[in-house]
Structure 1
């Protein structure tokens, strides 16, 4: 390979120049508008069915628009899922092709190591999505339980006063007992399961993994950098080592999150025995 071939800039891949998601976004927007129109028409005919009771034509159109609304809702969910999947695959491919610019058109940038880089990036991205779900679920449960405890505890004194004022209502006598019981159960669940700690730890792990992806894609650290090596064979070997280092680092970040839970489970078992 001559110096002119090495220094020749890489042609810009189509995934960087073409906005492949424009048509899909336009289609999603159009289908969403149709869905909203069907829902609005269904609500309108449903209201008219009360005004013109016994009118079979209005009832038929109400049933048709209800069926159409359900159809477009399900169809839009499917289209959105397909769009997200295609967008995710294109995003991973674009990140894997960034090396083509850093390596200035060498063969290892576009051919031999691209599938390995895409696989490594997909593995890390899947971990990120899992931790994002864990973060969202733990955060929602934590906030919901805290708000429920506050509301139930605050309503209890009011129910006691209402029970004294409305002595004839027998069902009110149970409310001052039921609400504190529910609040106690919710508090026990929150204290038994560390939802707040899980949420914070998952959020920290997501940030670490996303930062590691950017380091690997841009090659900004010595363990991931190979584009500044002059010799082709050494550059290719360093590119392979960079992928291995990335997988090892991602696993280390993941194990730091998983290992404490395993240690706590083992300590709990030992205490029980």
Structure 2
């Protein structure tokens, strides 16, 4: 079968119909996402990666609802759409209670994929869908995922040090993406950099105001995520200064393996024990 011209999954340049690799960056045109070489050699599509993060969040949310129903917590519509606190704790909510009480240090990863209700999930995924492609454009998909994962961890570590007892949500990881754009805009400079910095600064101001007005918002995780994103942006660099390389994609692979491993382990344990028991 004759292959068609396509955009490179790594650098987004055009790959000719007769080319097996991208002449711009050397990425394979057909690297399967599940192969380590697809991550290390740059074959993972940034758009696919954002969709994968969104899909995992939805799957974990659905499982948390099923777990709550198994525990007899489905009395009404609102309850059905909001997992109970014990179910979230079993799946990996973080804070001083699970970390100090149960040595749940791994929860700083799992909590990024847990949500307390359908609106919580929708708002976070809408923000992720808007911000992650922008970060992917400036940093590359591998570095974006490293920032998302490690920045979320930074946010929850700050939250833990501040004494927050129980917390969940992807907003800390999303704030780390915002932090990386803050660094990018300030570091790049020029008209475009100033525009990026100004727009993202507006998001930060809006987050701060929303956090102080609305109850139950974990401002520590938000602030820690933003700081983590700034630091990671500085350490990892962005495409205009240094192209994404094999080390960046290897770090992304390690972040993905750790995330999938921990989430899969929690689901396996709960299913093996019998959901809700």
Same fold (TM over 0.5): no
Rg larger in structure: 1
Greater RCO (Cα-Cα under 8 Å, separation 6 or more) = 2
Q: TM-score, normalised by structure 1?
A: 0.29
Q: TM-score, normalised by structure 2?
A: 0.28
Q: Which has the higher helix share?
A: 1
